[in-house]
């Protein structure tokens, strides 16, 4: 929890005239007793991460309301009550799930040459032994920040009590083809590269994921020549890179304006304004 003593992040505290020292204590709203967190010179802010023996040095509870008491040479004031966070909800953007379904749809539409079996696209590792070959596995290997917009880290909720943290992120998917036949492996490898190009033009560009787009592929063979080992197979790893928008939305429940104080100045009669 961030306490902004010279602003109004949680509550407002302005040091009294001539103050040189201050202490900060925390208590649970409605519960007797408090824990001293700090004693020393004046601070502009304090990050409360749950310090103190009575809290076992654990993070502040998201379901508890706290009060902070700030004391300087001339008196005390309270900051709060405030709750660190009511809840945090992560909503995946489903881009990986979309890619899997797009690839499966493309594979389902392929005209298969003689000797090539139909395959499935999955994200699951084989359980209890290898599944029937051929199959294709999709995994998001890397998501990496590439750039941010100016001011994206400024906490500035709109009138609806939310703001967005925007970033461009490069995502790298590994699409692996497993087959018992080299020609079958090569067919699916080349077909997937073609499908990548189609998806770039018909799907990712229209929804804005066209900042950069690239791919590469490497083929290999794995085999064991002695008894007691899993039979070999032919494989290919395809890397699909897409640079696009990755957003984080922050919803808040505190007031965007906590208090407005109006001071009225009365001009005595006969005096110029």
d(CA 130, CA 230) in angstroms, rounded, equals 9
State the CATH class of domain 95-251: alpha beta
Give residue-wise pLDDT tens across range 156-165. 667 777 777 7
Q: Which residues lie closer than 8 Å to 109 by C-beta, 6 or more apart?
A: none
In the predicted model, what is the mean pLDDT of residues 17-31? 79
SS3 letters across the chain: CEEECCCCCCCCCCCCCCCCEEEEEEEECCCCCCEEEEEEECCCEEECCCCCHHHCCCCCCCCCCEEEEEEECCEEEEEEEECCCCCCCCCCCCHHHHHHHHHHHHHHCCCCCCCCCCCCEECCCCCCCCCCCCEEEEEEEEEEEEEECCCCCCCCCCCCCEEEEEEEEEEEEEEEEEECCHHHHHHHHHHHHHHHHHHHHHHHCCCCCCCEEEEEEEEEEECCCCCCCCCCEEEEEEEEEEEEEEEEEEECCCCCCCCCCCCCCCCCCCCCC
CA distances from 36 to 26, 48, 50 (A): 6, 11, 11
Q: What is the pLDDT of residue 56?
A: 58
The answer to whether 218 touches 212, Cβ cutoff 8 Å, is: no
Q: What is the pLDDT of residue 228?
A: 61
Contacting residues for 86 by C-beta, under 8 A, at least 6 apart = 62, 63, 253
Q: Which residues pair with 158 in a beta bridge?
A: none
The tens digit of pLDDT for each residue in 124-139 reads 666 665 567 788 888 8
Q: Is the peptide bond before 64 cis (omega within 30 degrees of 0)?
A: no
Q: Considering only 33-37, 64-68, 122-126, 230-234, which range has the smallest mean pLDDT?
A: 122-126
| pLDDT of 16 over the 60 cut | no
Helices (H), 32-164: 95-108
Cβ atoms within 10 A of the Cβ of 136, count?
A: 22
Confidence of residue 257 (pLDDT cuts 50, 70, 90): low
Give the mean pLDDT of the chain.
76
pLDDT at 12 over 60: no
For 197, the enclosing helix (H) or strand (E) is: helix 182-199
Please state the domain extents for the chain.
2-82, 95-251
Average pLDDT, stretch 184-205? 88
Q: Which residues contact 117 (CB under 8 A, 6 or more apart)?
A: 134, 184
Q: Quote helix, strand, coil % in the chain, to nearest 5.
A: 15, 35, 50
pLDDT of residue 187: 92
Query: CB–CB of 176/100 below 8 Å?
Result: no
């Amino acid at each position: 929890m961030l306490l902004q003593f010279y602003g109004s992040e949680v509550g407002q505290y302005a040091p009294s005239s001539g103050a040189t020292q201050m202490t900060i204590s925390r208590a649970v709203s409605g519960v007797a007793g408090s824990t001293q967190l700090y004693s020393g010179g004046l601070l502009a802010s304090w990050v409360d991460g749950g310090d103190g023996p009575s809290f076992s040095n654990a993070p502040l509870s998201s379901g508890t309301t706290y009060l902070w008491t700030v004391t300087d040479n001339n008196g005390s004031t309270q900051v709060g009550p405030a709750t660190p966070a009511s809840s945090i909800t992560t909503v995946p953007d489903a881009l990986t799930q979309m890619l899997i379904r797009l690839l499966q749809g493309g594979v389902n539409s392929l005209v298969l040459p003689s000797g090539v079996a139909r395959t499935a696209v999955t994200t699951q590792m084989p359980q209890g032994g290898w599944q029937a070959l051929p199959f294709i596995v999709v995994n998001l290997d890397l998501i990496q920040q590439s750039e941010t917009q100016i001011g994206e880290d400024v906490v500035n909720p709109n009138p609806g009590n939310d703001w967005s943290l925007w970033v461009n992120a490069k995502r790298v998917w590994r699409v692996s083809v497993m087959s018992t036949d080299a020609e079958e492996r090569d067919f699916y490898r080349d077909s997937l590269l073609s499908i990548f190009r189609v998806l770039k033009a018909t799907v990712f560009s229209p929804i804005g994921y066209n900042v950069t787009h690239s791919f590469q592929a490497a083929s290999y063979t794995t085999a064991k020549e002695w008894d007691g080992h899993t039979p070999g197979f032919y494989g290919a790893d395809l890397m699909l890179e897409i640079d696009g928008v990755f957003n984080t939305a922050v919803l808040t429940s505190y007031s965007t304006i906590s208090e407005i104080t109006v001071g009225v100045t009365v001009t005595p009669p006969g005096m110029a304004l």
